[in-house]
Structure 1
Amino acid sequence: MKPVLKVRDVCLSYHTLSGETPALSHISFDLMPGEFLSIVGPSGCGKSTLLNLIAGLLSPESGSVTLDGKKISAGSTEVGYMLQKDHLLEWRSIYRNILLGLEIRKELTPQKLANTEALLKTYGLDRFRDAKPSQLSGGMRQRAALIRTLVLEPELLLLDEPFSALDYQTRLNVSDDIGKILKTSGKPAILVTHDISEAISMADRVLILSARPATVQRIVPIHLDIKDRTPFSSRNAPDFKKYFNLIWKELNKNA
C-alpha cells in the first residue's frame, strides 16, 4: 500500500526585519490511506505551520509535500482544512453554511446536493438545517463545520485543534462524534492537538515534534486492545495509560 501523503525533508524559516527564525527542520513522514495521524509538540513549535504547508498555504524552503504523487499548491481542492473556530456565517442557515464551499466552487450539482442531504441526516443535523449558528451548541457547530468540509469530498482532512474552544465534556463528545464520522468516511486525517489523551484516543499513530525548530522527535504507533474502538472507548483501554506516559516523557525530555 502506497502512502497518500509524503512529507520529505521539509524545512521552513520565518524572515523578519530582526532576522531569520527557523520553524521546521528536516520534517519527514508518510500518511497511509484511511490513516488518522495526531501531531503533538510544545507550544509554538510549528504544528500549525506544518498543517499550513500540507494545505498548500505555505511553501517549504526546501523539501517537498506531495499528495497522491502530486505536489500540493496554493488553492488545492484535494485538502480539507478544519480550523479552531468554525467560521460559520451568522446570517446564513446551517444548511446554507454547509453549502458555502460548493457555491464558491460552483459545484452545486444534484449529486453533491444529495450527498449533503445524506450527511445532514446521518450526523443528526437535518432538523437544524434552518437554524442560525447562534442557535446551536458549540459541539453542533463543529459538526456542521466538519460536514461543510466533507461535502467538498477532499482527499485529505486537516484538523487544527478543532475542539479547543469547547468545554471538557462537550470536547469528549464531539471528538468521539467526529472520530466516528471520519472512520466512516474512510478519509485520511491529520489532527494537531495539545491534548495527549485526545491524540492517543483518535489516532493510529502519534507524531511528536520537538521544540522549535521542530524536528520529528518520535512517531508512536497506537495499538489498543479494544473491540469496536472509538475515541471515547479508547480512553478505557488497558494500554492507554502506557501510551500517555510514553508521550508525556517524550514531550518533557528537554523541558
Structure 2
Amino acid sequence: MKPLLEIRDVSLSYHTSAGETPALSHLTFDLMPGEFLAVVGPSGCGKSTLLNLICGLLSAEEGTILMNDTVPSPGDPRIGYMLQKDHLLEWRTIYQNVTLGLEIRRELTHAKLEYIEEMLCTYGLDKFRNARPSQLSGGMRQRAALIRTLALKPELLLLDEPFSALDYQTRLNVSDDIGRILKKEGKPAILVTHDISEAISMADRVIILTKRPATVARIVTIDLGLTDRTPLSSRNAPQFKSYFNLIWKELNQYV
C-alpha cells in the first residue's frame, strides 16, 4: 500500500538577527491511509514545527514532504488542522462556528450541511446549535472545533495538543470521543502531544523525537491486542504499561 504522506530527510532552521537555530534535522517517516500517528518529544524539540511543515505553512530547507505525490500548500484543502485552542468565535453561534470553513470556501452545499447536521446530532451538540461558545464546556467546544474541521472533508487531520487546555477527566473523555469519531470517519491523523499515555491510547504508531534539532529517535508500533480498540479501553490493556515504560525510557535520555 502506498503511503498517504511521505516525509523524506526533512530539515529546518529558524533564522534571526541573533543567528541560526536548527529545529528539525533529517526527519524521515510515512503515514499510511487510515493510520493514526502520535508524535512525542522533549519540550521545544519542534513537534508543532513539524505539523506546520506538513500543512504547508512552513517550507523545508532540505528534504521533501509529499501528500499523494504532491507538495502541500498553505491552506491546502486536503488537510485539516486542530490547534491547542478551539478558536471558536464568540459573536457566532455554535452552528455558525461549525459552518465557518464552508462559508469561507463558499461550499455551503446541501450535502455538506446535511453532514454537519448529522455530526451535531451524533456528537451531542444539536441542542446547543444556537448557544455561544462561552456557554459550552471545554470538551463541547473541542467537539465543535472538530466538527468544523471535519465539515471540510479533509483527507488528513493534524492535531496539535488539542486536549491540553482541558482538565484531566474531560481530557480523557474528549480524547476517547475524538478517537472514536476519527475511527468512524476513517480519517488518518497525526497527533502532537506531551502525554505519553494519550499517545499510546490513541495511536497506531508513536514517533519519538530527540531534543532540538529533532531527529527520529524511534518509531514504536502499538499493538494492544484489542479487537474493538478505543482510547479508554487501550489504557486498561495489559501491554499498556510496557509501552509507557519503553517510551518514557527513550524520552528520558533527552531531559
> For the superposition of Structure 1 and Structure 2, which TM-score range results when normalised by the shorter chain?
over 0.9
Q: Secondary structure at the match of 2:116?
A: helix
Aligned to 2:213: 213
Aligned to 1:87: 87
1:154 paired to 2:131: no
Instruction: For structure 1, list consecutive stretches of 5 or more residues without a partner in the other structure.
Output: none
Distance of 2:68 and 2:123 partners within structure 1: 29
* TM-superposition CA deviations, 1:56-100 (whole Å, max 9, x none): 100000111111111111121110000000000011110000000
1:253 paired to 2:253: yes
Distance of 2:73 and 2:228 partners within structure 1: 37
* TM-superposition CA deviations, 1:101-158 (whole Å, max 9, x none): 0000000011111111111111111111111111110000000000000000001000
1:92-171 map, 5 Å: 92-171=92-171
Instruction: For structure 2, list consecutive stretches of 5 or more residues without a partner in the other structure.
Output: none
Q: Secondary structure at the match of 2:179?
A: helix
Distance of 2:196 and 2:124 partners within structure 1: 28
Aligned to 1:15: 15
Distance of 1:69 and 1:235 partners within structure 2: 36
Distance of 1:40 and 1:222 partners within structure 2: 14
Distance of 2:138 and 2:144 partners within structure 1: 10
Asked if structure 2 preserves the Cα contact closer than 8 Å seen for 1:196 and 1:248, the reply is yes
CA shift, 1:254, in A, is 3.8
Asked if structure 2 preserves the Cα contact closer than 8 Å seen for 1:225 and 1:238, the reply is no
Aligned to 1:187: 187
Aligned to 2:36: 36
Q: TM (normalized to structure 1)?
A: 0.99
Q: Secondary structure at the match of 1:112?
A: helix
Q: Which piece of structure 1 moves more, 241-250 or 108-117?
A: 108-117
CA shift, 1:19, in A, is 0.5
Asked if structure 2 preserves the Cα contact closer than 8 Å seen for 1:5 and 1:67, the reply is yes
1:178 paired to 2:178: yes
Asked if structure 1 preserves the Cα contact closer than 8 Å seen for 2:209 and 2:218, the reply is yes
The root-mean-square deviation of aligned C-alpha atoms, in Å, is: 0.7
Distance of 2:229 and 2:164 partners within structure 1: 23
Q: TM (normalized to structure 2)?
A: 0.99
CA shift, 1:208, in A, is 0.2
Distance of 1:186 and 1:69 partners within structure 2: 21
Aligned to 2:49: 49
Distance of 2:75 and 2:236 partners within structure 1: 40
Distance of 1:22 and 1:35 partners within structure 2: 29
Q: Which amino acid aligns with 2:203?
A: A
Q: Secondary structure at the match of 1:102?
A: helix
Q: Which amino acid aligns with 2:190?
A: I
Spell out structure 1 runs of 4+ moving beyond 2 A.
Answer: none
Aligned to 1:230: 230
Asked if structure 2 preserves the Cα contact closer than 8 Å seen for 1:27 and 1:215, the reply is yes
Asked if structure 1 preserves the Cα contact closer than 8 Å seen for 2:42 and 2:254, the reply is no
Q: Which amino acid aligns with 1:31?
A: L
Q: How many residue pairs are counted as aligned between the two chains?
A: 255
Distance of 1:61 and 1:141 partners within structure 2: 36
Asked if structure 2 preserves the Cα contact closer than 8 Å seen for 1:201 and 1:234, the reply is yes
